[in-house]
Structures are given as C-alpha cells and as structure tokens.
A and B are shown apart, each in its own frame.
Chain A
Amino acid sequence: MSAPSAGGASRDGYGSALLRLASDPRVVVLEADLGKSTKSCLFREANPERTVSLGIAEQNMILVAAGMASSGKIPFASTFAIFTERGFEQVRNGVARPGLVVHLCGSHGGIHTGTDGSSAQSIEDLALYRTIPGMTVIHPCDDLSSEELTIQLLDHDKPSYTRTARNKTPRMYDEESCKKLKIGKGSKLREGSDVAIIACGVMVSEAIRAAEELSKDGIGATVVDMHTIKPLDTELIDELVRECKGIVTAEDHSVIGGLGSAVSEHVSYTGGVPIRMVGVTDRFGESGEPGELMDLMGITYRDILDSCNSLLS
C-alpha cells in the first residue's frame, strides 16, 4: 500500500493527509471496517497504536471519537458517506451539540461511486450535515485539494464532515496552487463575465469542460470550486452576482439541500440573478459505470452547458 501517484481520487488525498498529520501526537484515526476504502489504512499501517478499529458499528465510532475529542485528541473518523448517515443523530447530539472537534469523512459520495449501486451512493450527505449548527462541510474536487483541505482541519476548531469520491477525477490543482486553498473560501478556477458556474467535487472538472465549450460560442464563464459547502463563501457569491448574468450550480448530490440549495438560499436574501441547479433530481441511482450514471442522472458538462444556455437565452 502506498500513497497515490498523479491524479488519484479525492479519497487518496485524504489518506495522504492523514499520514502527514501523524506527526501531531494528538491525531487519532477511527475506522469502521472500511479503512482500505476511505484510505485511512495508510495511517493505520504507519501508526497502529493511534488507530482504533471499531468494526461495522458507525454509531459507536462517532461517540468514541467524541469521547476522545473531549480528552484532548483530534479524531479523524471515516467510513462510506452513506454509512456516516447511520450515525447522523450521533453527530448532531454527541459531537456538534457539545462542540467537540471530531473530523468525520464520508468516502464514496455521490452517484459517481458507480457499480455498487444506489445503496452505496449517498446523494444527501451534504444536505444533512449542512443543517447542523457549527458544522463545517467540505467536498474537494481532486486528490491534491483533498489532501490540502484535510491538512487544514488540524487547526480547525469546529467539527467537520468531508465528502470524498471513490473514483479518480482530473486534477484541478498542482502542488503549488492547492496551497492557496482555504477552508471556507471558494476557489476561482476560470473567469468570465456572462455566467458563473459554482461546482463541487467531481462536477468541478465537468464545469471547466462546459466553460470551454461556452467559450467557443463567445460566452465567458467563471468557474468556482466551492469545496466548502458550509460555511459558504457568501462574499464570493455576492461578487459573482454583481459580475455575471446568472449562476449555475453543479453537484453530484440531490438538488434538494446541497450546494445549489445553499447558493440559492443566500441569493434569495440578496436578490440579483437567476439560478439553475444541475444535480440529482429527486431519485435514487443504480448500478453502472460513473460516466454512464452521470449521463443517466443528467449531471454531465452537457447538462451544465444546457443550463447556462437556457439561463442566458
């Protein structure tokens, strides 16, 4: 087992970050029999004495993490995104309510997860955790940004949920540019004054592709990697509202409650521009290859393109 080479999945970045964080003796890792999948196994291999295996028992894992956080540790607990949801009330009542700094990671988020089918494809995790007061919600788009944002959690004073993806995604950052990322601050990857595409996770590269297509027709699109869903970078959204004619959001997540909802909620107060949401409409996924599923669910660059065009027409 080794850290990934170029262009891994965001879960690989999480694993690499945990390895780097191990130099801080307060850091502990908790697993629920999916360490090989979430990549916390890298930490386990190097630091077995600070890794706690809790078996297939997520509710217990979350409260064990809370107990450790109350005793001076900085726990990083992970499982599949969908199985963190089994412990949602534990996160709400046992972690966030007393303000204990536990960092929870849900890998295999979204329908991009693929052939495992709908039981493994969380399309509601971002919505759920976003409702909890004081909770930070992160969804990086590639391995390098995932590594950087996870490293930053070491000094983060609030509980957090990070969603990573199972499958590889194109790199949006290099070793240098990812260092400029900051939790809570959206990252502008491309600038244009006609439309702003705000995306997260695997949809960021789709947004870039849509922007490239739009430029062929002379339409300028700003693309933002909104890696932090909460707290939302409302300053940046206000700037986009001033500069562009409309906003399209893109996420591998239900359109109910996720990034699109968060952006819309903010703009509903400030007013300004029309918004279109690209995301999973109110339905479950199924087995299939990631690309096939993105086609089926209507979350490809073509869907972003259509939304941009309809918004500008």
Chain B
Amino acid sequence: MNSADRASDMTTSQLRELALRCRRHIVKMIHAAGAGHPGGSLSAIDIIAALYGNQLRFDANNPGWEDRDRFIMSKGHASPAVYSILFEMGFITEEDMMSFRKLGSVCQGHVDMKWTNGVDFSAGSLGMGLSFGLGCALAARMDSSNRDIWVMVGDGEIQEGQFWEAAMAADFHSVGKLNLIVDRNRIQNDDFVEVQMEVGDVGAKLSSFGWDVMEIDGHDMEQVSQAIQWSSSKTDSPTAIVAHTIKGKGVSFMEDNPSFHGKAPNNGELEIALEELS
C-alpha cells in the first residue's frame, strides 16, 4: 500500500472490519508464540486501525521514506497490535507475523525498529516513547517537514517520571505536530491501575501541562476518527487523546481481566476467542 498522499478513504465500517481482522491476528499470533500481551493489544487496536487506515502517510514499499508520519508505540509489549496492522498494510508477511517471538523473527517480543520494517521506535522499556516522539517532532520542525508524529502510551506507563518530563518539554517547545494517545485501559501488569498506583484524571493533568486534550471512547470508531482528525488539525500546541478503553476488548474472558495482560490463550481459549471475533 502506498499512502504517501493520504486521503481519508476507509469508511467507518471498513475501519471496524480492519480492526476485527487485526484482533484475530493478535490472538492467533500470541497463541502461536505461547506468550505475549493480548489485553493491551486488543484495547489499542481500534485506534491503531483508524490511524493506519485513514491518517498516517507511509509507503510500505519504502518504509524508510523520510517524510513519512511516525507512529511510536511506546507501550511496546502491545507489539501484536502493531504487527497485525503492519501485516494488513503490507509491511510484513503473514509468516513474519506468525513467527512472533521465535528465534530470528522480525517480530520481536517488543516492537523494535532495528528488526521490523514499519516500526519507528525500539520500545520495551516504558516511559520513553513520548521523549522519542518529541525528538522526531523537533527534527521535523528544523527540516520544515510536514510529517506528523503520533505516540501511543499506556495508562500504567505514565507512572514513569520520564513521561512527564517529556510532557512538560513538549509544551515548552510548542510542538504542534506531536500527537499523543493514552490507552486508558485501567489495567497494568500486576493488577488494576487504581490498585497499583492510580494515575487519576489524566486529561486534567495533561491540560495543566499545556496540552490540548480530548477524551473519547477508544472503541467507538466514529469518535476515534473524529479525535484523530481533531488532533491532526491542531498545530499550535501538542494534543492528547485520552482514549477510554477496555483491556482485552472483543474477547469476553479477556475483557477487563488483569490476568490476560501478559498471558497467551490456550487451544480452547483461542477457539472461543476466534468464534467471538468472527
């Protein structure tokens, strides 16, 4: 796919279908690997599908195209969500995707720009992606490039202090091309965020740091699309979409269930999951 001259060309129902296909890829690849993070992949995938389906400018045949928009997946454990969309967009093959976490695979456990075409950031250690995105946005401004920078973080992730260093610096440097998405799925590794260390009103906190904020239902594809357009159109200050999501969305036994943060479905569970995602 060549999306160098991106025009919004997928309908809302087509985006929903794209996200559904990605959900199936996600549970299948994690099952095949016997490990991985389904919960945070399924919570993020509607937004990622909308971004790649209608917003980002990229060229799967030329992944290093310097004026491509950047998508920086800071919550790198949700790598299956990224691999599923990269497969759908033609960056990687189905074989690549299904070799997730295997020795020598281009699909490493956590997203890694050194290994995978179409990946713009090496994640795996939380709290670093917004800083990296800020660096990309500053470089773009110095080059008078029009490229947009999108960063996705998890809500547990923003417990890291570095995230707030970056949030403060992004406001100070007025980087309007920097767009943040917070996947507010309310669950982190050990338990619910409110149990581990509640992050509170994330939108209000970012507003107080000088960001323009919109709060949405991260699974309502119309709201997601509108928020992406709104964020993209604001170029005078950094913008954040706080997406309220459900961890494990789409698979009943994974939904809102901390035990599926980082656990693969077994054979029976995969069967049920694929039935629910048909």
Q: A residues touching B (Cβ–Cβ < 8 Å)? A: 28, 49-50, 52, 54-55, 57, 59-73, 75, 89-90, 93-94, 97-99
Cα(A52)–Cα(B139), bound, Å:
10
17 contacts between A and B (CB under 8 A): A49-B142, A55-B168, A57-B168, A59-B161, A63-B128, A64-B138, A66-B135, A67-B131, A70-B113, A70-B120, A70-B132, A71-B143, A73-B139, A93-B122, A93-B125, A93-B128, A94-B122
Are B169 and A68 in contact, CB atoms less than 8 angstroms apart?
no
The answer to whether B120 touches A72 (Cβ under 8 A) is no
B135 contacts A70, C-beta separation under 8 Å: yes
The residue from B131, B134, B142, B168 contacting A50, defined by CB atoms under 8 A apart: B142
Structural contact, A54 and B169, CB atoms closer than 8 A: yes
With A and B bound together, what is the CA distance between A33 and B112 in angstroms?
Answer: 31
Q: Is B162 interfacial (CB 8 A cutoff)?
A: yes
A111 to B125, CA, bound (A): 32
* A98 contacts B142, C-beta separation under 8 Å: no
Contacting residues, chain A, for B168 (C-beta < 8 A):
55, 57
Select which of B112, B128, B136, B172 is within 8 A of A71 by beta carbon: B136
B147 CB, nearest partner CB in chain A, Å: 9
Q: Which residues of B contact A89 (CB under 8 A)?
A: 125
State A38–B119 Cα separation when bound (angstroms). 34
Chain A min CB distance to B173 (Å): 7
Total B residues in contact with A, Cβ cutoff 8 Å: 32
Q: Which residue of A lies closest to B172 (CB)?
A: A55
Cβ–Cβ < 8 Å partners of A67 in chain B:
131-139
**Distance in angstroms between the alpha carbons of A99 and B112 in the assembled complex:** 11
Q: Which 7 A-B pairs have the closest CB atoms?
A: A67-B135, A63-B131, A71-B139, A60-B165, A57-B165, A64-B135, A98-B122
Q: Is B90 an interface residue (CB 8 A)?
A: no
- How far, in Å, is A50 (CB) from chain B's closest CB? 7
Q: Which residue of B lies closest to A96 (CB)?
A: B122
In contact, A70 and B136 (Cβ under 8 angstroms) = yes
Main SS at interface, chain B? helix
List 14 extra interface pairs beyond A70-B121, A93-B124, CB under 8 A: A28-B139, A62-B131, A63-B162, A67-B134, A67-B135, A68-B138, A68-B139, A70-B132, A70-B135, A71-B140, A72-B139, A75-B135, A90-B128, A97-B114
Once bound together, how far apart are the Cα atoms of A52 and B131, in whole Å? Answer: 13
User: Using Cβ atoms and an 8 Å threshold, which residues of chain A touch B172?
Assistant: 55
- Inter-chain contacts of B32 with A (CB < 8 A): none
A65-B114 contact given A55-B169, A57-B169, CB 8 Å threshold? no
Complex: A94 Cα to B125 Cα, angstroms: 8
Q: Shortest Cβ distance from B220 into chain A, in angstroms?
A: 31
Q: How far is the CA of A50 from the CA of B112 in the complex (A)?
A: 28
Min CB distance B140 to A, Å, is 7
**Bound Cα distance from A64 to B169, whole angstroms:** 10
CB of A43 to closest CB in B, whole Å? 14
Q: Does B166 contact A (CB under 8 A)?
A: yes
Is B66 positioned at the interface, with any CB of A under 8 Å from its CB?
yes
Residue of A nearest to B120 (CB): A70
Q: Quote the shortest CB–CB distance from B105 to chain A (angstroms).
A: 17
In the assembled complex, the Cα of A75 lies from the Cα of B131 at a distance in Å of: 14
Which residues of B sit under 8 angstroms from A97, Cβ to Cβ? 112, 114, 122
When chains A and B are docked, how far (Å) is the Cα of A54 from the Cα of B175?
Answer: 13
Q: Which residues of B contact A54 (CB under 8 A)?
A: 165, 169
The CA-CA distance from A47 to B203 in the complex, in Å, is 36
**Residue from A52, A64, A99 whose CB has the most chain B CB atoms within 10 Å:** A64
**B153-171 Cβ-contact flags toward A at 8 Å (1 or 0):** 0000000011001101100
Minimum distance in angstroms from A49 CB to a CB of chain B = 7
Closest A residue, CB atoms, query B173: A52
Across-interface contacts of B161 in A (CB, < 8 A): 59
Which partner residue on chain A sits nearest B147 by CB separation?
A71
**B114–A64 CB distance below 8 A:** no
In the bound assembly, the distance between CA atoms of A128 and B169 in angstroms comes to 27
Minimum C-beta distance from B237 to chain A (A): 17
| Residue numbers in A under 8 Å from B136 (CB-CB) | 67-68, 70-71
Residues of the B chain whose Cβ atoms lie less than 8 Å from the Cβ of A75: 135
Measured CB to CB, the nearest residue on chain B to A90 is B128
Q: A28-B142, A90-B128, A98-B113 are in contact. Are A59 and B162 (CB under 8 A)?
A: yes
B114 — which chain A residues lie within 8 A by C-beta? 97-99
Within the assembled complex, what's the spacing in Å between the Cα atoms of A60 and B113? 19
**What residue in chain B is nearest A67 (Cβ atoms)?**
B135
Verify B139–A63 contact, CB threshold 8 A: no
Choose one: A49, A63, A99; the contact of B135 (CB below 8 Å): A63
Cβ contacts under 8 Å, A65 to chain B: 135
For A67, A71, A94, which residue has the most chain B Cβ atoms within 10 angstroms? A67
Minimal beta-carbon separation of B36 from chain A (angstroms): 19
Give Cα A50 to B139, complex, Å: 9
Chain B 96-140: CB-based contact to A (< 8 A → 1; otherwise 0): 000000000000000011100000111011011101111111111
Shortest distance from the beta carbon of B117 to any chain A beta carbon, whole Å: 14
CB neighbours (8 Å) of A73 from chain B are: 139, 142
Chain A nearest CB from B259 CB (Å) reads: 27
Indicate if the CB atoms of B166 and A60 lie closer than 8 Å.
yes
Query: Do residues A59 and B135 form an inter-chain contact, with CB atoms below 8 A?
Result: no
**Cβ of A176 to closest chain B Cβ, rounded Å:** 36
